[in-house]
Amino acid sequence: MRLTTVFPLVARRIAALGAMAVAMAAHAATFTGSGVGSIPDGTANASCPAPGVPLNITFAANGLTSSALTDIRVSMTFGTPHYWGGDITATLISPTGISFPLFGRIGATTATGVGTSANLSGTYAFVDPAITTNNIWTVASNSTSTVPILEGTYATTPVGGAGAVNPPAPTNFLAAFSGLTTASVLNGTWTLQVVDNCEMDTAEISAASLTLTQSAPPLQYSYAPTFIHFPTIPANTQSYAYPVVVFAPATNSQNIGFPANACVMSGSNPGDFMRLPDPLSVAPGTTGQLLVQFRPSSNGFKSATMTCTAQPSGVTPAQIIVQLDGAGGDPLPPPNCYDVDGDGVMNPLVDGLFIARLQLGLSPQAAGNNITFHSPRNSTKKVVGFMQERCGYVVPSTPSSQ
């Protein structure tokens, strides 16, 4: 016989687990920059670099979760061209203050080098070299003062200056921000800082965007209970089926599965417990049940551990582990439901009177008035508990007003 109704305690525990489940959503989020406009000019033409006041373009990141970044993209549009591209440095700054250059002083290989004269005009995006190895220094070498650096997507590169080589190797853009994995630090103000390092040539950033992509959350689930105690039953008698309830959050991308052969019993008495062989597949946002039975092979205390491996691989947790115990023994003797206090005497002025009052519709409290119950059930509460558990008595939901 299967008992598929979840017991109230299990249901409450599962509800709590569901409430604690972290809602994680994998996505790419793009944020539009605020504060675009003219880049303040550098302060001295004859002694570059002489940086001007930075143009700080900000991005209000929100909606990100506690998950690793897998891609970062920064796009900027030079609505008004900058006629000496080697003057410009662009840096991304995280909400926590991590600062990483996207490019800077293109073509400059000495401390005072002025870099490429090729124009920056149009839209340029900067990404990790795992996305592209396009090098803006290489493209700038093929441009001139009258031919803009080709618009497009480029790998991040270091800032030029003393000791730089042309072209430099791309830099590890994504790795610089890999430590930012919690929502509290990912959500906040990111800054694109654009600096003009030399005087005379000016330009305007007319648009900018920041795109942050996070990894997909792992498949996950919760389960309860972690311990099942079976009541004492006669040897070679099969118990009711008790449920282990599995909850899968709605953010999962696929079902969590437990095939018929997914569970193994181990411990002192593995042969006395069994999982019913129904396969289980739990869809995102739903619950399912693994049903467990106890069939003691002999009298005495029995125990085992049930370990069920979840599918697919990589799901968290990898296994359900439930401790099981119970006892084989003689069945309880049939109750004497006419001796409600259990003193061995069916007293008409005690047992009989109490039962008669209940039959007339009185509440248990009213039925017990002026009746002296004897041990072992020497109170109305104990008597009613016995009648409920052993005799099938149902306490009225609305006590009689008599």
Q: What is the tens place of the pLDDT at every residue in 333-379? A: 788 999 999 999 999 999 999 999 999 999 999 999 999 999 999 99
- The top-scoring range by mean pLDDT among 146-150, 249-253, 279-283 is 279-283
**8-22+218-328 CATH fold:** Immunoglobulin-like (2.60.40)
The pLDDT of residue 143 is 83
- What is the arithmetic mean of pLDDT over 385-395? 85
As a dihedral over the C-alpha atoms of residue 194, residue 200, residue 206, residue 210, rounded to 10 degrees, the angle is -20
pLDDT at 253: 81
Q: What are the sequence ranges of the domains in the chain? A: 8-22+218-328, 28-214, 335-402
Mean pLDDT for the stretch of residues 276-280: 93
- pTM (2 decimals)? 0.57
Residue 390 DSSP one-character state: H
pLDDT in tens, 287-329: 999 999 999 999 999 999 999 999 998 899 999 999 999 999 8
SS3 309: strand
- pLDDT of residue 112 exceeding 70, the answer is yes
CATH of segment(s) 28-214? 2.60.120.260
Chain centroid to CA 304: 31
CB distance 76 to 215 below 8 Å = no
Q: In whole numbers, what is the pLDDT of the chain averaged over residues? A: 89
What is the per-residue pLDDT across 133-153, written as a single tens digit (0 to 9) for each?
A: 999 999 999 887 778 999 999
* pLDDT over threshold 70, residue 1: no
pLDDT surpasses 80 at 219 = yes
* 165, pLDDT greater than 50: yes
Q: Is the pLDDT of residue 399 over 80?
A: no
230: nearest Cα among 335, 319, 310, 322: 322
Q: What is the pLDDT of residues 30-77, one digit of tens each?
A: 999 999 999 999 987 667 899 999 999 999 999 898 888 999 999 999
**What is the structure's pLDDT at 252?**
85
Write the Ramachandran bin of 145: left for phi over 0, alpha for psi from -120 to 50, otherwise beta: alpha
pLDDT at 96: 96
Q: What are phi and psi of 276, to 5 degrees?
A: -65, 140
Of the ranges 271-285, 355-369, 388-402, which one carries the lowest mean pLDDT score?
Answer: 388-402
Q: Is the pLDDT of residue 280 over 70?
A: yes
Q: What is the pLDDT of residue 46?
A: 65
